[in-house]
Structure 1
Amino acid sequence: MGSTANGAAAERRTATSNGRSPVDKEVDFANYFCTYAFLHHQKEMLSDRVRMDAYYNSVFHNKHHFIGKTVLDVGTGSGILAIWCAQAGAKKVYAVEATKMAVHARELVKSNNLHDVIEVIEGSIEDITLPEKVDVIISEWMGYFLLRESMFDSVICARDRWLKPNGIMYPSHARMWLAPIRSGLADHKMSDYEGSMDDWHGFLKETEAYYGVNMSVLTKPFSQEQKKYYLETSVWNSLHPNQVVGTPAILKEIDCLKVTVEEILKVEANISSLVTKEDTRLCGFGGWFDVHFKGSEENPAESNVELTTAPSQDDGTHWGQQVFLLHPHARVNEGEEIFVNFSMTRAEDNHRLMKVDLGYSIKQSSGKMLPRVDKKFFIE
């Protein structure tokens, strides 16, 4: 009886890479996967025209990658990518979905008369077994600032298990970007923090006056909580290009055919940015990503499609940009250079969230280097 229980417990847990603590699969499902089981969540992604157009064009402008081929769609969701692959000529598509959204995907496939081509499989990619290797793996795995959610781990697992040696990945490449920005959000967040502390101090006075208990010993931990929430947690935002005050720089480049999980556990970069605005505020840094559908060296795409989440004055994406706000802000001028040390790792208590250490220094036009400033952020 004990061995059976231990075996069941082992099945509920999956070891993470690089010797990190095991992740309870049931907890992970409750915290992460279950959100994708709702149609309203799928609708948000399906309504993102930039996202949809990029995948649609990458498939239908590169039909030679799909005609007569076997395809694996990792995290199929509604099943729309699998449907496009079949419509482009794939002979077989395995559409894998970890949540009950698989039921809806199966219905959608059948209603589009593609059930003879597409097989919807409910289960995690780490656990399922396919009857054959595939020519193409397609997946929309990108989270906020590319790597939040850590879904790319599952795509890498699928690649290593099921992709043929000469197979291709859709998307094939990815890049992470960072640039200095100006934003009124920094002032708003500081105001929110100060307001929460004013409210706390009023609460302390009332509690002592009415109930005779002095709770001021909790002021420091309360302040730390509020600082993390308002000042140290990066925020999602849809930036306008005019808010970018310096040249963007690449933090990391990824070849989806070759990268390992170990290589994405930590993103480290030393970059610089040249200020492009005259006498402006440096209020933080904005991060975004792009992915490309290039095929492979042996089997390149006929049409190289890019999906970018860079700041846009037209149609943005549901990913927006990840914004790391500075308190206090600094003043910079055109021609000055900002040097940034960036490090992003996974949170210890939730491998799908991230923590960031960011240090920056400014080289003024006179050549003087201002003291380095170090900040910590959380991507939640």
Structure 2
Amino acid sequence: MEEMETNNYFESYEDLEIHKLMLEDSARNLAYKDAIFNNKQEFLGKTVLDVGAGTGILSVFCAQAGAKTVYAVEASDTYKIAEEVAKENKFGDVIKVIHSKVENVTLPEKVDIIVSEWMGFYLLHEGMLDSVIAARDKFLKVGGLMFPESATLFATPCSVPSMYSFWEDVNGVSMTHVGPKLRAKTCQKPVCERTHPDCLLSDADNVLWLDLREVTMEELNKIEVRHLAVANKKGRYEGICLWFSCTFPSTTVEPVTLSTEPDEPLTHWKQTTIVLPSSLEVEEGSPIAYDLLLKRSDENARRYIIEVTMLDPSEVEHPEYCLCHLTKCILVRAVLDKYEKGDMECAENK
């Protein structure tokens, strides 16, 4: 069964519509191109491994930056297109396309740089990072570079108009009976759609930070966090919005970051929302507590089970300087502000 699911995964990437969607994503493409071209001195005359090369655009960027050899590994039949793209751009001698899973590849040498666009919805979906880690451990030279070199997953409570308020007035017709039926299905799996920045109810929390030079596959099996968010506006708490960012290495200029945050240019990843079964009105300053669990599926290692547990904010620990409107937090802030003011006055008197 596992082998069949793996084969289905690679076969899905033989659909050119999927590649068209990714190649039309200018934010994605230009982030990689800028990161590579900003580091031409690191690519000049070096060996590069492109994990999951697809149609080969990243391999061409590396060759254009001066790489001596690019090993473009692609397990699906799209490798044939990568070969054609390499020849079309006159890099047929530089880009060596290899039709294989990277786990099964044997290279004649270690590589200086690994490049890969491995990110899935909510960062971890599809589990391609496992292949990148395997390639890193097997092929990357000591001190070699990873593009990207780090990734961060963020979460924040949000409203979900497409699942709630939209059905209150569909061109003058109330259809609130449709919403619950739709939510009954969407509560079973995340929704990948664009989230407007106005729908976010609090500042983002950091769910996960990955150093791609060191992270292990085992660390990706289960991610469990508890968050206490504070609403920065009045609104409806109807879901948890997830997005990610990736940062590339740089030695001479400010590092390039590819972000899928709602107020950044739209990417094909959009945002991922876990829709809650009911809507809850919150005021500015309201505490919102929840547990978030991402666990690798036992049936398919390329998929994750995501669970959100809503908690009573009065029963969880709040940070020392919490900005929520609960009485205990207001009192703690007042005491801390008093001591801080006293410390400043003492410093000024000295």
Alignment TM-score, normalising by the size of structure 2: 0.84
Provide the rounded CA distance (Å) in 2 between the counterparts of 1:80 and 1:57.
13
Measure the CA separation in 2 of the matches of 1:276 and 1:129: 53
- Tell me the SS of whatever aligns to 2:325: coil
Q: 1:325 aligned to 243, 253, 275, which one?
A: 275
Q: Secondary structure at the match of 2:44?
A: coil
Pairwise mapping of residues 229-244 of structure 1 onto structure 2 (< 5 A)?
229-244=185-200
| Residue 334 (str. 1) matches residue 294 (str. 2) | no
* Cα offsets for 1:308-363 (capped at 9, x unmatched): 00112x63111011101112111111112222221110122222121122223345
Aligned residue runs from structure 1 range 83-98, under 5 A: 83-98=60-75
2:227 is aligned, of 271, 274, 295, to: 271
Q: In the comparison of the two structures, how many residue pairs are matched?
A: 310
Provide the secondary structure at the position in 2 that maps to 1:37: coil
CA distance in 2, matches of 1:127, 1:80: 23
1:144 to 118, 121, 146: 121
1:164-222 CA-to-partner distances (Å, cap 9, x unmatched) read: 011010000000000011122332798447558xxxxxxxxxxxxxxxxxxxxxxxxxx
Deviation at 1:271, TM superposition (A): 2.1
Q: Which amino acid aligns with 1:92?
A: T
Counterpart Cα distance in 1 of 2:201 and 2:181: 29
In angstroms, what is the RMSD of aligned CA positions? 2.0
User: 2:77 aligned to 83, 86, 100, which one?
Assistant: 100
Give how far 1:301 is off: 5.7
- Asked if the contact 1:143–1:319 (Cα under 8 Å) also holds between the matched residues in 2, the reply is yes
Q: 1:123 is matched with which residue?
A: 100
Instruction: Report sequence identity in percent.
Output: 37
Say whether residues 1:289 and 2:244 are aligned partners. yes
User: Among residues 259, 265, 268, which one is paired with 2:215 in the alignment?
Assistant: 259
Structure 1 residue 303 displacement after superposition: 3.6
Q: Give the structure 1 partner of residue 48 of structure 2.
A: 71
Displacement of 1:149 in angstroms is 0.3
Return the match for 1:302 from 250, 253, 260: 253
Q: Distance in 1 between matches of 2:50 and 2:254?
A: 20
CA distance in 2, matches of 1:139, 1:267: 23
Please give the per-residue CA displacement for 1:86-144, whole angstroms capped at 9, x wherever unaligned: 00010110000001100011011011110111100000001111000000000000000
Contact 2:163 2:179 in 1 (8 A): no
Aligned to 2:39: 62
Runs of 4 or more, structure 1, over 6 Å off, are: none
Give the deviation of 1:39 after TM superposition.
Answer: 1.9
Please report the TM-score for the alignment, with normalisation by the length of structure 1. 0.77
Please show how residues 188-207 of structure 1 align to structure 2 within 5 Å: 191-192=177-178
Gaps of at least 5 residues in structure 1 are 1-22, 197-225, 370-380
Say if 1:186 and 1:327, in contact at 8 Å, map to a contact too: no
Deviation of the 1:25 alpha carbon? 2.5
> Residue type matched to 2:29 in 1?
M
Report deviation, 1:247.
Answer: 1.0
